[in-house]
Amino acid sequence: MMSSRTSEKIAFLFLFLATLLIVVPVGLIIVIIIQKGWPAISWEFVSDIPRQGMRAGGIFPAIVGTIYIVLGSIIFALPIGLLAAIYLSEYAKNNYLNRMIKLAIVNLAGVPSVVYGLFGLAIFVIFFKFGASILSGSLTLAIMILPIIITTSREALESVPYSFREVSYSIGASKWQTIRHIVLPNAIPGILTGTILGLGRAAGETAPILFTVAAFYLPQLPKSLFDQAMALPYHLYVISTQVPNVDEKVRYGTALVLLFLVLFMNLVAIIIRYQFRKKKKW
Amino acid sequence: MIKIKVENLNLWYGDFQALKNINLAFEEKQITAIIGPSGCGKSTLLRVFNRMNDLVEGIHMTGEVTINGSNILSKRVDLVTLRKKVGMVFQRPNPFPLSIYENIAFGPKIHNHGKSREIAQIVESSLKSVLLWDDLKDKLQESALQLSLEQKQRLCIARLIAVKPDILLMDEPCSTLDPQATDRIEDLMRELKNNYSIVIVTHNMQQAARISDKTAFLLLGELMEYGETTQVFTNPKNSKTEDYITGRYG
C-alpha cells in the first residue's frame, strides 16, 4: 500500500508533466515562428504588394483581404447567431424538437471546414451567382462560425441568474423588456467570448475560402464585395507548396503576421469584454 | 374595504394539488400574514395574486381571485397591468447588478413614466419612503450589490414602490436578515400599511403576531383558519392551528 504522501507526489508529477507536454509545443511554435519570421518583417513586407512571383515584396493585399473576410463573416454571423441564441435560450420550449436542434448546432461546430467550403461554393458562388468573392467567402465563414457563436451565446444567456428575470417580470416587464434590459447586458461578456473564438477560427481557416474567395495572386486591393481577394492562410499555403524557391523567412514572416493579426483581433475583443465585466457585479 | 377576494381556489402542479378550495378576503391597507409549515402552499398562494405561478410549466387553477373588482385568473387579464398594481418582495434581496439609481428607475422606465426629471423624482420619493434616501443620496451611481442585506431589501421595496402598486406581496422578506434588521423592516411595513395593502408569507410566527392585522393558517394546501391575528394566536378555533402555533409541529 502506497502512503498518501507518495501517491500525492506521483499524482502531482503526472498532472504537471501533462501540462508541460501541452505548454512546450505551443511555446515552441511561437518561438520558432518568431525566430524564423522576424527577419522578414519590415514596413515594406506589410505594406507592399507581392513581387517576383511572390518571392519578394510584401503581403499587404493578403492582410487586407483577411481583415475584410473576417469582419464580413462577423457582421453576418454575430447578429444572426445572437438572435438565434436568444430564441433558443429564452423562447424555445424544452421539447424533443428543440433539444435536437440545440444538439445539432453543437455538432455543426465539429463539421470539417472543407465541407463548409464546398457548401459555400455550391450555394453562394454558383447558386446565388455571387462568384468567388468577398461576399461568398464571408458568408461561408459566417456559416462555419455560427454554431460557435450560437452555442457560447446561449450558454452566456442561460447563466444569467433566474432571480433577475423573476424580479423583472414581477415589476411588470414583458419578456422582451426583461431580455433587452436585464438578461442581455449581463450576457455580453460571454457573447464576446464566443465572438473571439469565432474570429480566430475565421481568420485561420483555409479550406472554406479556397473555393469561395481566395485569389492565388492578385496584386491589388479588392474594390467591392464582389471582388476576389488574397487571404493570409491561403497565401501561406500557396507560397509553402505551390511556388518553388520562396525564401523560408517570407513563409515564416507570413505566418507571424497571421498570428499577430488573430492575436490583435482577440485583444480588441478581450478589452471590450473587460470593460463590460467591470460593470457586471454580481 | 376588501382588496383581494379568493373564492373556491384550487391549484395543481401537474397532478399534485397544492391549494385546495381556498376562500379568503384581504382588507385594504392592512397587513395579512399567511403562516404554515414548509410546503403548505403559502408561497404558492402568494404567487397567485401576481400570477407569478404562470412561469411554472404544468400549472392549472380553478376558482376566482378578484382584485380591484376584476377576476385576475381570467385569460384576458393583462399581466403587465396586474403586476404593476401587485408588487412582490422576494425572500432573498435581489437587486439588479446595476447602480442604486438604475435599480429603482428600471420600473418607471419600462412603464414609460415620463422624462428623466420625473424619474429622478420617483427615485427620490421611493428611496425616502423606505428611509434610504439620507444614507444613499450621495451614492446613487454606485452598485446596488455592495449594500448591506437590509439596505438591499429596502432597495427592493423601493424598486416596487416606484411603479406605484397598491398591493405589496412579501415572501419571507426578513428570512435572511438579523433580528435588528428584521425589527426595522417590520417598522417600515407598519409605515407602508398606511398606503398599501400588504400580504406577507412568513415562517416566523412571532413576526406574524407582531405585525399583522389578520392571519391565515395553511396546512397541506388547505386553509385551516383565518381571522384577526389576536384571535388566531390567543384563541384559535381549530385545534391544528393551536398545535402549530404552540410548536407541536412545523
Report all structural domains of chain A as residue ranges with CATH numbers, in order of start.
61-279 (1.10.3720.10)
Q: How many angstroms separate the CA of residue B145 from the nearest CA in chain A?
A: 7
Residue among A166, A171, A280 whose CB faces B106 most closely: A171
Question: Would residue B181 count as lying in a domain?
Answer: yes
**Who contacts B81 (Cβ-Cβ below 8 Å, separation ≥6)?**
A172
Q: What is the ipTM of this complex?
A: 0.88
| pLDDT of amino acid A281 | 52
Distance from the Cα of B78 to chain A's closest Cα (Å) equals: 10
Contact A182 B96 (CB under 8 A): yes
Contact criterion met (CB < 8 Å) for A168 and B55: no
Per-residue pLDDT, averaged over B80-85, amounts to 91
Q: B93 exposed, middle or buried (CB, 10 Å; 0-12, 13-18, 19+)?
A: buried
What residues in B contact A170, CB-CB < 8 Å? Answer: 50, 52, 83, 87-88, 90
Q: What's the pLDDT at A48?
A: 86
Chain A residues whose C-beta is within 8 A of a chain B C-beta are 163-164, 166-174, 177, 181-182, 186, 280-282
Residues of chain B contacting A278 with CB distance shorter than 8 Å:
none
Report the C-alpha dihedral over residues B217, B218, B223, B228, rounded to 10 degrees: 10
The model's pLDDT over B27-68, given as tens digits with 9 standing for 90+, comes to 899 999 999 988 888 999 999 999 998 888 889 899 999 998
Q: Indicate whether B31 belongs to any domain.
A: yes
Q: What is the mean pLDDT of residues B85-111?
A: 91
Q: Which residue of A has its CA nearest to B104?
A: A171
Query: According to the model, what pLDDT value does residue A46 have?
Result: 87
Say yes or no to pLDDT of B18 above 50: yes
B107 Cβ under 8 Å from any chain A Cβ: yes
Are A170 and B87 within 8 A, CB to CB?
Answer: yes
| Residue B70 resides in a domain | yes
The total of structural domains in chain B comes to: 1
What string of pLDDT tens digits covers the 282 residues of chain A? Answer: 778 899 999 999 999 999 999 999 999 999 999 999 999 888 888 888 888 877 878 899 999 999 999 999 999 999 999 999 999 999 988 889 999 999 999 899 889 999 999 999 999 999 999 988 999 999 999 999 999 999 999 999 999 998 899 999 999 898 999 999 999 988 988 898 888 888 888 998 889 998 898 888 888 888 888 888 899 999 999 988 888 888 888 899 999 999 999 888 888 888 888 888 776 554
CB contact under 8 Å between B110 and A171, yes or no, is yes
Instruction: Kindly report the nearest CA distance between residue B236 and chain A, in angstroms.
Output: 34
| B59 located within any domain | yes
Residue B250 inside a domain? The answer is: no
User: Which residues is A135 bridged to in the sheet?
Assistant: none
Instruction: Collect all residues of chain A within an 8 Å Cβ-Cβ radius of residue B87.
Output: 170-171
pLDDT band of B113, cuts 50, 70, 90: low
Q: Do B96 and A171 touch (CB under 8 A)?
A: no
Report in angstroms the alpha-carbon separations of B205 from B34, B174, B230, B234, B250.
10, 12, 12, 12, 11
- Predicted TM-score (pTM) of the model is 0.82
Nearest residue, CB atoms, B145 vs list A166, A172, A282: A282
Phi, psi of B142 (to 5 degrees): -80, 160
Q: Which residues of A touch B48 (CB under 8 A)?
A: none
Question: Which domain, by its residues, includes B238?
Answer: 2-245
Residue A197 pLDDT: 84
How many CB pairs lie under 8 A apart between chains A and B? 63
Residue B228 pairs in a beta bridge with: B214
Residue with the larger pLDDT of the pair B75 and A133 = A133
Nearest to B87 among A163, A166, A171 (CB): A171
Nearest to B28 by CA among B218, B195, B223, B230: B195
Is B196 inside any structural domain? Answer: yes
Residue B90 sits in a domain whose CATH number is: 3.40.50.300
Spell out which residues of chain A touch residue B157, defining contact as CB-CB under 8 Å: none
Q: Is residue B209 part of a domain?
A: yes
